[in-house]
Amino acid sequence: MTMSETVAPTGRGSQTPHEHAASTSRGPRLRLAQLRDLALLPAIGLILLVGSFVDPYFLTKTNLVNVLQQQSEISLLVLGQVLVMIAGKLDLSLESTVGLAPGIAVWLILPTSRFHGQGLELPGFWALPIAFGVGILIGAINGLLMVRFKLSGFIVTLGMLITLRGLLNGISKGQTFFGLPSSMTYLGTATWLGLPASVWISLSLFAIGIVFMRYHRVGRALYAIGGNQDAAKAAGIRVDRIVWCTLITASLLAALAGVLLAGRLASVAASSGNGWIFTVFAAAVIGGVSLNGGKGTVFGAFCGVLLLFLVQNVLTLAGVPAEWINFLNGSIILGALVVSRIASGQEQE
Amino acid sequence: MAQTASPVPGPATGEPALEAIGITKRYGSTTALDQVQLVVDEGDSHALVGRNGAGKSTLVQIVTGLQAADEGVVRFSGRTAPSLTDRDGWRRSVACVYQHSTIIPSLSVAENLFINRQPARAGGLINWRATRSDAQHLLDSWDIAVHADSPAGDLSVEQRQLVEIARALSGGARLIILDEPTAQLDSRGIERLFQRLRDLQARGVSMLFISHHLQEIYEVCQTVTVFRDARHIVTTPVAELSKSELIDAMTGEARIATQTAERTSEAREGTPALRLTSLTQAGAYDDVSLSVQPGEVVGLTGGASSGRLAVAETVVGLRRADSGSVEVAGVPTGKGVPAALDAGIGFVPRDRRHEGFVPLLGVAENATMSIAARLGRGGFINLHDRDERARKMISDLAVKASGPHQPVGSLSGGNQQKVVMGRALANDPQVLVLMHPTAGVDVRSKETLLGVVDDVRRRGTAVVIVSDELEDLYPCDRVLVMFQGRITNEFASGWSERDLIAAIEGVEHDHV
């Protein structure tokens, strides 16, 4: 028997319905997700064009590398957040982890006297293991509360955001840690093959993220969990374990971002990472990641964060006074959301 | 594990595809299944029927490994069922297409088919090319005209269901359970599905078919098992069981003779209190016309997707019809619930937990929510008046509550429903619409709730009762039956239960 209906075409009006011929018409079809993925590229192209008119310096290698370096830390948060969001959860506490992870490490390493350390004065090579350990621990606590005890993810991570920020304030007495050990500053300052190490790290982690989310079963499981958790369970996916691991990964990425930031600034401020989470969500949503889970790609999110930082860079070069940058930033985020809503035709919820 | 299912299952074993023997399942004090048995022979198409609460869904959960039975054994082709945690083992034994879709709309069809078992390359990375071609091969082998690359969200209900069937069978199982597969399909879709099921059977797949529509069973099944009140009643070849015998088995011998008592109508002459004219909503109901006199009680019943609730929800403003009109006492109602309340319609919604009350708020606040504007001036509520009304309601309806401030969420189901009824009556409605008024309610509360109907009809209120429970329909002056979106039958009071059930199940009743 045959079915009388034609196969539903995937595009939005770009393809004409055709007779089904189930197995034969396997030509190149642009899948919806791929189209959505590329949606921001024209916008990025436009910004590059506008930027080159605003200031010839904009398109120089120095400036573009500079943009990439400025966004490298926050983009790691975006990467982590996107994994969590695709699985249908969210993690607000990432921005506090940025400060706390390196903060705890240097607190345990620096001497009491001049640098208000804790006094333990651990050897300098402990800096990174401690910072990453703190990241893992925070993710594990988030997972414990959200996965094990089934608390609301929004409230849990909001609570963690405040608690962790408060903890950093407490141990640093509200001040900034200086005189970091060299193991802490290395990643944020080193140059590998002519590019800052943080750029390499951020780009390569995004590359891994893109491949993992596209080609790995666990990556696909995150989409399934975010799309329909019950269906994922019925398919034998270990939902709880995977969500828990995702939360840990996101916190670990936030800790890495903190280390890069600490290295670049050669200090850890009590307010380190403060307010980042809004930019992170904005970048993710502009990049097509759904707050309801199950939709979006790592590549899209990367485009989202890149777009935001390029726009900021152009504004700075255009001589927009610093006091107005935030206003313009917010307007651009809103504008970008409206444009992507119109372009994709999908509700963002 | 088989990445691609062979469309032709393995060799016949001669053992029954499914044996569930002596199954008992209790939830607290209620027994959901009492020593039931179900045997599906290899290659058989077996129907499981029973009215709501007969235990069908519990049995499905047990034989698909979602729940453990308290007693009894489950065997597939002679082998004992795997342990509950061994999902792969279950997937190899039995495939189930549930009433609710388990397709993930944001992923492609191919990915849905191979979710969590995508073909991988050596490095552990998914081989998308192989996934797609395996998926296409699978779809082609079952003659499903769907492109593996399409987003699953774009599929029609029918296509989605076929994809689910293909996925279910691709785990290697040779037994498929279909739980109400036709509920969301139109009649042409149903016909195509049946053709496909016959094809599957011809390829050696055994089927367990659960349906409320008895007619369908005669079309696709060879054997039928009837459950009633958590017990196994009979298993017999379909051909040897007439429709009336089947209905008898479902309703119970004792009830066959039941002829409901005739009642004296309180209906008054004059303008109908409620009149529906050619009400139509695409996909829900079609050309429904109905008029109810003041003081008249009309029942509206039908199967799960007959559209009876959709009609009721349209009357009370929760839904909007595509065309047609709703008039109360000759005046068309506006759009939405506020307009319906203003027009003089009071109602008990279909699911009290969902739409009936706010659990954390008190009895008084819940019961007066629809008339808050009448309880004071300028939007401020006179709490004293409100509590007075609530006390009266509590005593009128015999609500067991400590007072007007007890949160409704902490009351028993029956008392919750009384509060919802109180809210429905709060605006002294001319038309009272009750949807499933006694669902999950104890016997005493049932009496009180249905007693309300007798009170209000004497006052000239028109009542519409929408329910699947025959007892809810006893107080009705006449009962209308809907089938697939249309009113198909009308029974005057004094109807026989068997005729009514036959109409609900869509069987042309052959008089015995």
ipTM (interface pTM): 0.73
Cα–Cα distance between B217 and B243 in angstroms, integer?
A: 10
Of residues A327 and A167, the one with the higher pLDDT is A167
| Rounded distance between C-alpha atoms, residue B365 and residue B354, angstroms | 17
pLDDT band at A39 (very low <50, low <70, confident <90, very high): confident
Query: Once rounded to an integer, what is the mean pLDDT over residues A150-161?
Result: 94
Residue A344's pLDDT band (cuts 50, 70, 90)? low
Does residue B439 register a pLDDT over 90?
A: no
Domain range for residue A156?
Answer: 27-340
Lowest mean pLDDT, pick from A318-332, B4-18, B192-206, B379-393: B4-18
Question: In chain A, whose CA is at the least distance from the CA of B101?
Answer: A231
A199 pLDDT above the threshold of 80: yes
* Nearest alpha-carbon partner for B504 in B474, B483, B476: B483
Looking at the complex, report in whole angstroms how far the Cα of residue A54 sits from the nearest Cα belonging to chain B.
Answer: 40
pLDDT at B511 over 50: no
Give the pLDDT mean for B362-368: 86
**pLDDT at residue number A1:** 38
Asked which of A84-98, B70-84, B179-193, B291-305 is least confident by mean pLDDT, the reply is: B179-193
Kindly report which listed range (A26-35, B299-308, B383-392) carries the lowest average pLDDT score: A26-35
Within-domain flag for A82: yes
- Is the pLDDT score of A16 beyond 60? no
Q: Do A10 and B149 touch (CB under 8 A)?
A: yes
Residue pLDDT, tens place only, B122-140: 778 888 889 999 999 999 8
Closest CA to A295 of B111, B104, B110: B104
Q: What is the pLDDT of residue B260?
A: 60
Which of A220, A226, A236 lies at the smallest CB-CB distance from B111? A220
A220 Cβ under 8 Å from any chain B Cβ: yes
Q: What percent of chain A has pLDDT over 70?
A: 86
User: Tens digit of pLDDT for each residue in B450-465?
Assistant: 888 888 988 899 999 9
- The answer to whether A19 contacts chain B (CB < 8 Å) is no
Q: What is the C-alpha to C-alpha distance for residues A131 and A117, in angstroms, rounded to an integer?
A: 15
**Touching check for A67 and chain B: CB below 8 Å?**
no
Torsion of CA B410, B414, B419, B420, to 10 degrees: 110
- Domain assignment of residue A35, yes or no: yes
Q: Residue A37 above 80 pLDDT?
A: no
Q: Of B104, B126, B195, which has the smallest distance from its Cβ to A224's Cβ? A: B104
Q: What is the mean pLDDT of chain B?
A: 84
pLDDT of residue B9: 46
Among the partner-chain residues B102, B126, B136, the one whose CB lies closest to the CB of A215 is: B126
Taking the Cβ of residue A14 and every Cβ of chain B, the question of whether any pair is shorter than 8 Å is answered with: no
Task: Specify the pLDDT at position B64.
Answer: 87
pLDDT at position A5 is 37
Q: Does A344 or A323 have the greater pLDDT score? A: A323
> What pLDDT is recorded for position B181?
81
Confidence tier at A190 by pLDDT (50, 70, 90): very high
Cβ proximity of B347 and B433 under 8 Å: yes
Instruction: Classify residue A170: in a domain, yes or no.
Output: yes
Q: Is the pLDDT of residue A174 over 70?
A: yes
**Please, are residues B77 and B15 in contact by the beta-carbon 8 Å criterion?**
yes
Q: Which residue of A has its CA nearest to B96?
A: A234
- At residue B203, the pLDDT reads 85
Closest residue in chain B to residue A19, using alpha carbons only:
B145
Q: Which of A35 and B492 is assigned the larger pLDDT?
A: B492
Structure tokens at B467: 């329910």
User: Is A2 part of a structural domain of the chain?
Assistant: no
Q: Are A87 and A143 in contact (CB under 8 A)?
A: no
- Cα A307 to chain center, whole Å? 13
C-alpha triplet B195, B199, B200: angle, nearest 5°: 120
Residue A77 lies in a domain: yes
Q: Work out the burial of residue B187: count CB atoms within 10 Å of its CB; fewer than 13 is exposed, 13-18 middle, 19 or more buried.
A: exposed
| pLDDT tens digit sequence for A233-259 | 877 788 999 999 999 999 999 999 999
In a domain, A246, yes or no: yes
| Secondary structure element (H or E) that encloses residue B280, with its range | strand B274-281
H or E segment and range at residue A78:
helix A61-86
pLDDT at B259 over 70: no
**What average pLDDT does this structure show over A119-138?**
91
For residue B152, what is the DSSP state? Answer: G
Q: Could you tell me which chain A residue has the CA closest to the CA of B197? A: A1
Q: Computed over its alpha carbons, how large is the radius of gyration of chain A?
A: 22
Where does the pLDDT of residue B8 fall: very low under 50, low under 70, confident under 90, or very high at 90 and above? very low
Residue B262 is classified by DSSP as P
Q: Do A29 and B139 touch (CB under 8 A)?
A: no
Residue from B64, B93, B107 whose CB has the most chain A CBs within 10 Å, to mutate: B107
Residues B170-197, mean pLDDT to the nearest whole number: 81
Contacts of B22 (CB under 8 A, 6+ apart): B35, B36, B37, B71, B72, B73
Judged against a pLDDT cut of 50, whether residue A11 lies above it is answered with: no
**Coil, strand or helix at B233:** strand
pLDDT at residue A336, as a whole number: 73
Within 227-286 of A, beta carbons closer than 8 Å to B belong to 227-228, 230-232, 234-237
Q: Check residue B249 and give its pLDDT.
A: 82
Concatenating the DSSP letter of every residue in B24-92 gives: EEEETTEEEEEEEEEEE-TT-EEEEE--TTSSHHHHHHHHTTSS--SEEEEEETTEEPPPTT-HHHHHH
Name which of A3, A26, A211 is nearest B145 (Cβ-Cβ). Answer: A3
pLDDT value at position A230?
A: 79
**Does the structure show a pLDDT above 80 at B366?**
yes
A247 contacts A143 by C-beta, under 8 angstroms: yes
A345 domain-assigned = no
Strand blocks (E) in B313-399? 323-328, 331-332, 345-348
- pLDDT of B306 strictly over 80: yes
Element (H, E) at B466: strand B462-466
- Per-residue pLDDT of B15-74, as tens digits, reads 889 999 999 998 877 788 999 999 999 889 999 988 766 888 889 889 988 888 999 999
Among candidate residues B251, B252, B248, B254, the one with its CA nearest the CA of residue B512: B248
- Output the six-digit token pair for A197: 């190490």
Tens digit of each residue's pLDDT (9 = 90 or more) over B406-437: 888 888 888 889 999 998 898 889 999 999 88
Residue B471 distance to chain A (closest CA, Å): 36
Encoding tokens for residue B209? Answer: 């078919």
Residues from chain A that touch B201, judged by Cβ atoms under 8 A, are none
Other beta carbons within 10 Å of B10: 10
- Indicate whether B334 pLDDT > 70: yes
Number of domains in chain A: 1
Whether pLDDT at A272 is above 60:
yes
pLDDT of the residue at B256: 43
Tell me, yes or no, whether A9 lies in a domain.
no
CATH number reported for the structural domain that contains residue A46 in this entry? 1.10.3470
* pLDDT tops 60 at residue B113: yes
3-class DSSP state of A116 = coil
- Number of residue pairs across A and B with CB atoms under 8 Å? 117
Nearest to A256 by CA among A304, A209, A214: A209
Q: With contact defined as beta carbons under 8 Å apart, do B205 and B32 qualify?
A: no
Helix (H, G, I), strand (E, B) or coil at B304: coil
Assess whether pLDDT exceeds 80 at residue A101. yes
Q: Which residues of A touch B140 (CB under 8 A)?
A: 22-23
